[in-house]
Amino acid sequence: MSEAQATLSPPSRRSQAARRTQSERTLIRATLSVVAEQGVSAATFATIGQAAGYSRGLATHKFGSKAGLIDAVIDFLHQERDAHLEAAHVAEMHGLDALIFYADSHLRDLAALKQTQAYFMLLAQSAADLTEVRKAFAASHARVRVWLEDVIRRGQGEGVVRRELDPTSGALVLGSLLMGLSFQWLIDPDADLEPTRATALQALRQMFAVPAFGDTP
């Protein structure tokens, strides 16, 4: 191999890797769009490939099975969430503000983003069908719970979150509240989510915040 060829090879490999990543993300976004607009049953590899502008064979090759596709979808959504939290500098917020920001963002995204709606549609089917895919969603929720636990502990250390709260229980309550509201909105998407969002955030503040001097605990 010549020196020139050796110099050109690494960018070529990176380009191939970038194309693979791009095609996978395109297929995942197509999956979420199909689910949100047509329902879970419509999300076949053929439909997904067509929506993404690729062949059914590529979707099958990339993910292998429905379980593989769900794993990829969940990982993609976690990456999107982590990027959103990083862009908002949530790690620099006090624990209480970080918890409220997380809940507020979730409820805003529920009405605005198809991918959030699609996630809960996929979750609902996995629970109803008693499929192995449930394990992927259980692992996803555990990942979020651990993050929320860490934020609660940080807030307790800062003196802005009630010290008597068990971080694990607090994280589960917050997550369950958001999950319940998400399913309720999917059932009745024409409902005005804004008053519910405001009430939910107020309830979470009362639950987590250290009472101000003179307030009733």
Reduced to 3 states, what is the DSSP secondary structure of residue 93?
coil
pLDDT score for 111: 78
Question: Among the listed ranges 17-21, 29-33, 48-52, which one has the minimum average pLDDT value?
Answer: 17-21
**Domains of the chain, first to last:** 1-64 (no CATH), 65-217 (1.10.357.10)
pLDDT higher than threshold 90 for residue 6: no
Which range, 7-16, 34-43, 157-166, has the best average confidence (pLDDT)? 157-166
Contact 59/45 with Cβ under 8 angstroms?
yes
Query: pLDDT higher for 9 or 177?
Result: 177
Percent of the chain with pLDDT over 70: 90
pLDDT tens digits, residue range 80-113?
999 999 999 999 999 999 999 999 999 998 878 8
pLDDT score for 130: 62
C-alpha to C-alpha distance for 61 and 46, rounded to whole angstroms: 12
Q: Which amino acid type is present at position 46?
A: A
Closest CA to 120 of 56, 175, 195, 52: 175
Residues 6+ apart with CB under 8 A from 28: 72, 73, 76
C-alpha to C-alpha distance for 137 and 96, rounded to whole angstroms: 26
pLDDT tens digits, residue range 126-156?
887 766 788 889 999 999 999 999 999 999 9
Contact 200/107 with Cβ under 8 angstroms?
yes
pLDDT tens digits, residue range 163-184?
999 999 999 999 999 999 999 9
> Mean pLDDT across the stretch 25-42?
92
pLDDT score for 133: 85
pLDDT score for 10: 52
pLDDT tens digits, residue range 39-94?
998 999 999 999 999 887 888 888 888 889 999 999 999 999 999 999 999 999 99
